Structures are given as C-alpha cells and as structure tokens.
Amino acid sequence: MDGVTVINHPLVQHKLTIMRKKETSTAGFRRLLREISTLLCYEVTRDLELAMERIETPLVEIEAPLLEGKKLVFASILRAGNGLLEGMLDLVPSARVAHIGVYRDHETLEAIEYYFKAPEDVSNRLIIVVDPMLATGNSSIASIEKLKERGARNIRFLCLLAAPEGIRNFQAAHPDVPIYTASIDSHLNEQGYIVPGLGDAGDRMYGTK
Ligand code: URA
C-alpha cells in the first residue's frame, strides 16, 4: 500500500503475536511494548541523514558518520502513545518529546485539544508521531493537524496496528505523512476496535480494564 511501510521483521511479528494473546499479562504486555517499540524505532529512523565528522580514536584521526540536523521529536498521542515512548528513547536518548491530547467533538467534528506540549522549534525537526493503534484515525489526524498548525513540516506516523479504514482516513487528511506499522489488520468493528487487534492498548498496558 502506497505511503505505508509494514515492518515485518521476525522479532517484531513474534512479539506482536504474544501481545495479541488475551492471556498476556499487563507486565508482559508492557515489557513487549517497550521491546517492540525499540525495533519499530530502528526501522522508522533507518534513512536518517548522516554527516561526516573528524574524530580521534585512541589510535588515529578519521572521518566518521554522526546523525545530521536537529534532534528528533517523538510526539506521543495520549495516553497509549506513551507506551511506545520508552523503548524509542532507549534507542534515541537525546530525542525531544511532545505530548498531545485531543478528542473529536461528536457534534461539530472539530478536534478539541486538551493538552499540547512540544519543543518550540518543531518546524526544523523530524517529528515521529506515535500511537499504538491507527483505528478510525481521528486522534492521529487531529494531533497532526495541531503539529502542522505549529509549523511541523516533516512528520512520520508510527503505530503497532492499523485498520484499513484508519489508513484511508489518515491518508486523505495527511497524504504527506508516511505511516509505519507492524501490521495492517482486517477491519474495524462497530465499537471502533481493530479486528483481530489486541484489545484496548491503553487498558492492556496500564491494567485499567
Ligand atoms: N484503540 C485501541 O486501543 N484498540 C483498538 O482496537 C482501537 C483503538
């Protein structure tokens, strides 16, 4: 599917299957989420630009590659996005972090922002927006609208599972934002759950069911 990268590394797929199992405990789910988010982060940053810098090893001077440009921003869509943050920060500890809380008003369909905290200068940074589930796409679409209003131009979206309906809505709203996911599942059910899915990601990671 155009604009969507499915990360089908065997370790990702193995961990995802265990996360889907209904008998996986909260502690297990959280540990797997941290592990899998490190692997997903590795893939979503695979093409970052490098610049050569002159360094000294204990033996000689060489030109060696380092990440170029400003620090990345990981933008977590509250609350389940936070489950992806820790593993990503294990891999990129210098990344800046944004938190975004939005909901869609049922009557006006307007995206209502109830929380937004991001670094000042989002316009010159790569922003990786994270939310485990791309279901209807409403919250990710609204969150990215808010980031764009503040000047963000270079955005990627990373999730664990995506529904085809959510991908369609998302791409209609933000055709410039590539999607990275570990799986495209079958469909959304009437309650807005991804099928086969893994249930409510926030409840499973925080034990709040
Ligand atoms: N959010 C979830 O946590 N799970 C779903 O299946 C859909 C949205």
**Tokens found for residue 56:** 């000294």
Q: Is 2 one of the catalytic residues?
A: no
203 catalytic? Reply is yes
Report whether residue 194 contacts ligand 1, using a CB cutoff of 6 Å: yes
Would you say the CB of residue 133 lies under 6 angstroms from ligand 1?
A: yes
Helix (H, G, I), strand (E, B) or coil at 28: helix
- Please tell me what DSSP assigns to residue 51: E
Rounded distance between C-alpha atoms, residue 184 and residue 8, angstroms? 11
pLDDT in tens, 78-96: 999 999 999 999 999 999 9
ipTM for the complex shown? 0.95
User: Half-sphere exposure of 118 toward its Cβ, with a 13 Å CA cutoff?
Assistant: 29
- CA of 203, closest atom in ligand 1: 3
Output the CA 31–ligand 1 centroid distance in Å: 19
Q: Catalytic residue at 104?
A: yes
**Per-domain boundaries in the chain:** 4-198
Name the average pLDDT for the chain. 95
Residue with CA at minimum distance from ligand 1 atom 2:
200
- φ and ψ at 176, to 5 degrees? -85, -5
Query: Is it the case that residue 142 has pLDDT exceeding 80?
Result: yes
Which protein residue's CA is at the shortest distance from atom 7 of ligand 1?
193
The residue whose C-alpha atom lies closest to atom 5 belonging to ligand 1 is 193
Is residue 165 lining ligand 1, measured as CB closer than 6 Å?
no
End-to-end CA distance of the chain: 34
Using alpha carbons, select from 41, 25, 22 the residue that is nearest to residue 193: 22
Please give the torsion angle defined by the CA atoms of residues 186, 181, 28 and 136, in that order, rounded to the nearest 10 degrees. Answer: -50
Residues in contact with 177: Cβ distance below 8 Å, sequence separation at least 6, in sequence order? 129, 144, 155, 156, 157, 170
Per the model's pLDDT, the better-predicted residue between 157 and 106 turns out to be: 157
Q: How far is the CA of 189 from the centre of ligand 1 (A)?
A: 10
Atom of ligand 1 nearest to the CA of 195: 6
Active site residue 108: yes
- Ligand 1 atom 3, closest CA: 200
**Would you call 105 exposed, middle or buried from its count of C-beta atoms within 10 A (0-12, 13-18, 19+)?**
exposed
pLDDT-based confidence at 104, cuts 50/70/90?
Answer: low
Q: According to the model, what pLDDT value does residue 147 have?
A: 95
The CATH architecture assigned to 4-198 reads: 3-Layer(aba) Sandwich (3.40)
State the pLDDT confidence band at 35, using cuts at 50, 70 and 90: very high
Out of 108, 121, 181, 208, the active site residue is 108
- Asked whether the beta carbons of 17 and 11 are under 8 A apart, the reply is no
User: What average pLDDT score do residues 2-26 get?
Assistant: 97
Higher pLDDT, 107 or 32: 32
